[in-house]
Amino acid sequence: MAALLFDIETAPLPDAAGYLEPATAPANYKDPEKIASYIAEEQAKQLSKCALDLDLCRVIAIGVWCPDEAAPLDIDLCPDETEERAALQLFWHILRTFPQADLVGFNVIGFDLPVLMRRSLYLGLKYPKLVLNKYRPGRVVDIQQELSHQGLLKYRSQDFYCKRFGITVDDPVTEGAQIPTLAEAGEWGTIAAHCRADLYRLHGLAEKLGILQPKPAVELPDLDTVL
């Protein structure tokens, strides 16, 4: 099976705060300092969730592993909207380049693909209409849906399944929630490394599920025979 693996990273829109519901302190709060502190904390909590809201996030990295490639392509990083636009256009171009390839990812029906399409819509970009139905997914293979039997069983994270299957990948990021903070700090190399690590994890899971065939081990020649 030809498979195109992909993964994205997201962060809140720069002006996401302007779209949030105003935070208010409980009625029993009387101290102005406590009220201000409570409101600030609530706003921070709301903002922290925007990276997972398809209407309040932006794409900051797209990683793709094309069919028959030995390793993922370079990760497309998006420090600003111009770079995000270019990365989205390239992603849709790659999909059209491999029309027979299944699109493989983790939680891509519930998150990655809706975000890519919604961001393309907001940025005025054309994109292919994909079927995002977990029961009739078309060319989309969502490993999370496969492992949960289309939601009949408990949803678990990609990290959980990698641990259960013994898939280990070096990754400088321990939690995906760190990504928005890394973007604010300009740690783009770390974000790229994390996105690439996710692709390797995804590749390992796809092999375990038979979505991808493991590459045969290369037998090295016997040194005594060569010398």
165: three-class secondary structure by DSSP? helix
pLDDT at res. 223? 43
Q: Is the pLDDT of residue 1 over 70?
A: no
Residues 6+ apart with CB under 8 A from 2: 67, 68, 98, 100, 101, 102
11: three-class secondary structure by DSSP? strand
The mean pLDDT value of the chain amounts to: 89
Question: Which residues make beta-bridge pairs with 57?
Answer: 12
Each residue of 37-82: pLDDT tens digit?
Answer: 888 888 888 888 899 999 999 999 999 999 888 888 779 999 999 9
| Mean pLDDT on 95-110 | 94
100: three-class secondary structure by DSSP? coil
**pLDDT grade for 184, boundaries at 50, 70 and 90:** very high
Q: Which CATH architecture has domain 3-22+32-212?
A: 2-Layer Sandwich (3.30)
| Mean pLDDT on 10-30 | 88
For 114, other C-beta atoms within 10 Å of its C-beta total 14
Tell me the two tokens of residue 141. Answer: 């293979």
Task: Please choose, from the candidates 59, 64, 111, the residue with its C-alpha nearest in 3D space to the C-alpha of residue 85.
Answer: 59
Residues 6+ apart with CB under 8 A from 146: 209, 211
C-alpha triplet 68, 74, 79: angle, nearest 5°: 145
CA distance 134 to 146: 9
Q: Give the helix/strand (H/E) hosting 91.
A: helix 81-97
pLDDT at res. 222? 53
pLDDT at res. 153? 94
Each residue of 130-147: pLDDT tens digit?
Answer: 888 877 767 899 999 999
Tell me the two tokens of residue 160. Answer: 């959980």
Residues 6+ apart with CB under 8 A from 155: 144, 148
* 191 or 215, which is more confident: 191
C-alpha torsion angle, residues 178, 184, 188, 191 (rounded to 10): 20
Q: Is the pLDDT of residue 226 over 90?
A: no
